[in-house]
């Protein structure tokens, strides 16, 4: 990797870990960081693709801490460049843990990659804040800042607990069968959490009538493109048996449904309901009266609806057990005008 600067970020996940891709910078590089969890530990693999000449590789940022305690190094520290792996991934020449800042590694091309602790302020930890939402979307993890040469790249959710003994740098080692993201392994609850994290949420649309609202007149609101029915997914986990014995398996089924809708109308007013509302021409039970126009908003009032998706799981058709609620916010814009009186003078009067 060459020296990286912050760029547009896309997060994704799969059966073997959480992937964070930072788009190509015009002058430098792009990279992919994959976090894989198994009962052997946590593996952080960063693979960069340079867009700059080889001689432009940057030295480690001065802001990076000096190595203190080596752990899980794939090669001993050395002043000479390490041999490059066959896939051109820079080799890890040293790795260390800083009890204040977090985990770091240095690659053979001179870059320092870090997973650093983050401070969470009150707004982030409030209902609907990024920390609260992230915790629900990534159960069993904590947020850490992914940095390259001291520059922030993205927030990565790392399985917890993470310690100097179980965080490793480089490609993951061979993992046992059925190892899943977030350390779900063969624990049905952890499997259910992982299934929940991969279930696509409905593509809800927020609708209003009239298309342009009027001050002091009720606007009708409703949810479209979703009928409120429960949805979910199942996964069967096969556990290898002892030598000479057949494997065993269990099936985890997860169901999800909307338990509550929190509407924010963009003018400081809100409404909590269990209703989807009614589409026009029916009169919706979700209504709101604006006391002033949306003149100061270029596209209209920003209307949000946060859906509380409740969730449960069962094992092999047994009783339903609770899972964390998922919060997801959908948005739209609603222009509202103020009616103006016009006086006309009659001819001949």
Whether residue 37 contacts residue 173, with contact meaning beta carbons closer than 8 Å, is answered with no
Please give the pLDDT value at position 121: 78
Once rounded to an integer, what is the mean pLDDT over residues 136-147? Answer: 79
CATH of 190-337 given 3.40.50.1580, 3.40.1180.10, 3.20.20.80, 2.60.40.10: 2.60.40.10
Q: CA 181 to CA 178: how far, in whole Å?
A: 10
* Both structure tokens of 343: 């006086």
Once rounded to an integer, what is the mean pLDDT over residues 224-239? Answer: 93
Beta-carbon count within 10 A of 202 CB: 18
Asked if residue 72 has pLDDT above 80, the reply is no
Where is pLDDT greater, at 278 or 106? 278
Residue 341 pLDDT level (bands cut at 50, 70, 90): low
Please give the pLDDT value at position 344: 66
Once rounded to an integer, what is the mean pLDDT over residues 164-185? Answer: 56
The DSSP secondary structure of 238-251, one letter per residue, reads EEPPSTTS--EEEE
User: Please, what is the Cα angle at 163 between 160 and 167, to 5 degrees?
Assistant: 90
Please give the pLDDT value at position 217: 95
The percentage of the chain sitting over the pLDDT mark of 70, rounded to a whole number, equals 69
Once rounded to an integer, what is the mean pLDDT over residues 254-263? Answer: 96
Q: Which residues of 315-328 are buried (b: 16+ CB within 10 A; e: fewer)?
A: beeeeeeebeebbb
The percentage of the chain sitting over the pLDDT mark of 90, rounded to a whole number, equals 32
Where is pLDDT greater, at 2 or 187? 187
Q: Is 56 helix (H, G, I), strand (E, B) or coil?
A: helix
Average pLDDT, the chain: 74
* Both structure tokens of 21: 């891709």
Domain ranges of the chain: 9-183, 190-337
Once rounded to an integer, what is the mean pLDDT over residues 144-151? Answer: 81
Please give the pLDDT value at position 31: 54
pTM, rounded to two decimals: 0.48
Once rounded to an integer, what is the mean pLDDT over residues 225-230? Answer: 95
Chain-centroid distance of CA 177 in Å reads 26
- φ, ψ for residue 134, nearest 5 deg: -65, -40
The most confident of 79-83, 128-132, 239-243, by mean pLDDT = 239-243
Once rounded to an integer, what is the mean pLDDT over residues 161-185? Answer: 59
Once rounded to an integer, what is the mean pLDDT over residues 102-126? Answer: 81
Once rounded to an integer, what is the mean pLDDT over residues 194-223? Answer: 94
Residue linked to tokens 């001993």: 76
List CB contacts of 249: < 8 A, sequence separation 6 or more. 236, 237, 238, 239
Whether residue 220 contacts residue 286, with contact meaning beta carbons closer than 8 Å, is answered with yes
Residue 29 pLDDT level (bands cut at 50, 70, 90): low
Residue linked to tokens 């006391």: 291
Please give the pLDDT value at position 254: 96
Residue 144 pLDDT level (bands cut at 50, 70, 90): confident
Please give the pLDDT value at position 16: 33
Task: Report pLDDT digits (tens) over 284-300.
Answer: 999 999 999 999 888 89
Once rounded to an integer, what is the mean pLDDT over residues 46-74? Answer: 39
Whether residue 231 contacts residue 211, with contact meaning beta carbons closer than 8 Å, is answered with no
Once rounded to an integer, what is the mean pLDDT over residues 63-87? Answer: 35
Asked if residue 255 has pLDDT above 70, the reply is yes
Asked if residue 38 has pLDDT above 70, the reply is no
Please give the pLDDT value at position 5: 27
Asked if residue 76 has pLDDT above 50, the reply is no
């Amino acid at each position: 990797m060459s020296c990286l600067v912050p760029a547009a970020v896309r997060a994704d996940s799969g059966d073997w870990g959480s992937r964070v891709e930072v788009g190509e910078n015009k002058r430098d590089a792009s990279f992919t960081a994959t976090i894989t969890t198994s009962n052997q530990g946590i593996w952080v693999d960063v693979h960069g693709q340079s867009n700059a000449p080889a001689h432009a590789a940057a030295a480690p940022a001065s802001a990076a801490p000096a190595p203190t305690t080596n752990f899980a190094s794939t090669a001993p520290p050395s002043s000479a460049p390490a041999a490059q792996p066959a896939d051109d991934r820079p080799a890890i020449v040293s790795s260390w843990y800083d009890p204040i800042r977090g985990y770091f590694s240095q690659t053979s091309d001179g870059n320092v990659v870090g997973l650093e602790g983050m401070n969470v302020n009150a707004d982030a930890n409030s209902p609907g804040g990024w920390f609260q939402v992230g915790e629900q979307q990534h159960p069993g993890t904590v947020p850490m800042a992914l940095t390259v040469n001291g520059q922030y790249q993205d927030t990565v959710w790392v399985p917890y607990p993470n310690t100097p003994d179980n965080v490793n740098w480089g490609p993951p080692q061979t993992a046992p069968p059925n190892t899943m993201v977030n350390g779900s392994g063969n624990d049905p609850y952890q499997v259910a959490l992982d299934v929940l994290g991969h279930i696509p949420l409905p593509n809800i649309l927020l609708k209003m009538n009239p298309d342009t609202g009027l001050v002091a007149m009720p606007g009708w609101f409703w949810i479209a493109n979703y009928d409120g029915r429960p949805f979910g997914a199942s996964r069967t986990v096969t556990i290898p048996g002892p030598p000479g014995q057949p494997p065993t398996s269990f099936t985890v089924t997860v169901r999800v449904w909307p338990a509550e809708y929190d509407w924010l109308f963009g003018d400081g007013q809100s409404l909590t309901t269990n209703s989807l509302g009614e589409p026009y021409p029916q009169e919706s039970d979700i209504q709101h009266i604006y006391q002033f126009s949306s003149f100061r908003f270029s596209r209209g009032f920003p209307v949000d609806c946060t859906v509380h998706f409740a969730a449960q799981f069962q094992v092999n058709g047994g009783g339903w057990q609770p899972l964390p609620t998922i919060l997801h916010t959908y948005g739209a814009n609603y222009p509202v005008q103020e009616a103006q009186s016009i006086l006309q003078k009659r001819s001949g009067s």
